Amino acid sequence: MRTRRSLLSIVSTALIVAATSVPGLAQDASPSDTPPAGPAITVIGGEYFFGGLPTTVPAGTSLSLDNQGEELHELIVARKNDGVTQSWEELLQLSDEEAFQYVTLVGGRPLFAGPGEIAEGTLVIPSEGEYIALCFIPQGMTEMPAEDADPSTIPGGPPHFVLGMIQTFTGTAEGTEPGPLPSAMPSEMPEGSPAP
């Protein structure tokens, strides 16, 4: 059986990229600082869920991340490229190289927020389409690793998206209203998760 590498698992290396400020990637791929054309939505991050992210979001909407959890969280948003028919489940099974033929990261990189913090910047939904929000931070990580951190000191727990920090949503036409929140109630969230 082929070792499963998750869609966008390359973004987990952004922990190191963000901590070490690798030139190039950070310059070419930063969250948007331009004013959005649509509503502003604050996505709540916690153990292990996203809250406040509607099931439909109009193009031009800016997403921010408010970490109300006790671990480090990130908000990664990807859009299926036009014409892609595979499900997100199928895309999550692909290697990074294969996956990036079918999806595009919104903003080029994730938003990171430590416990009790709000991430710097926003991610702006560029167009209509199928989107997914994920967190690849490993369970147990509470802060960004130091620039000279030994990789063996980074917690090796499962990525948060495997524990439930994953949500699909649809980008709708600019000027439309955001849709409803997902139907999951806080009582249906993993045990120990704070309410969104």
CA angle 45, 183, 132 (to 5 degrees): 50
| Tens of pLDDT, residues 137-177 | 999 999 888 878 788 777 788 999 999 999 999 999 999 99
Domain 9-186 coded CATH 2.60.40.420: yes
- Structural Rg of the chain based on CA atoms: 16
pLDDT of residue 184: 62
d(CA 124, CA 142): 26
| Tens of pLDDT, residues 112-133 | 999 999 999 999 999 999 999 9
Hunting for tokens 């698992």 — which residue is that?
Answer: 9
d(CA 156, CA 119): 23
pLDDT of residue 36: 55
Could you tell me if residue 28 is left (phi over 0), alpha (psi between -120 and 50 degrees) or otherwise beta?
alpha
| Tens of pLDDT, residues 32-71 | 455 557 899 999 999 999 999 999 999 999 999 999 999 9
* Whether residue 193 has pLDDT greater than 70: no
d(CA 147, CA 20): 5
Question: Any idea where the domains of the chain sit in the sequence?
Answer: 9-186
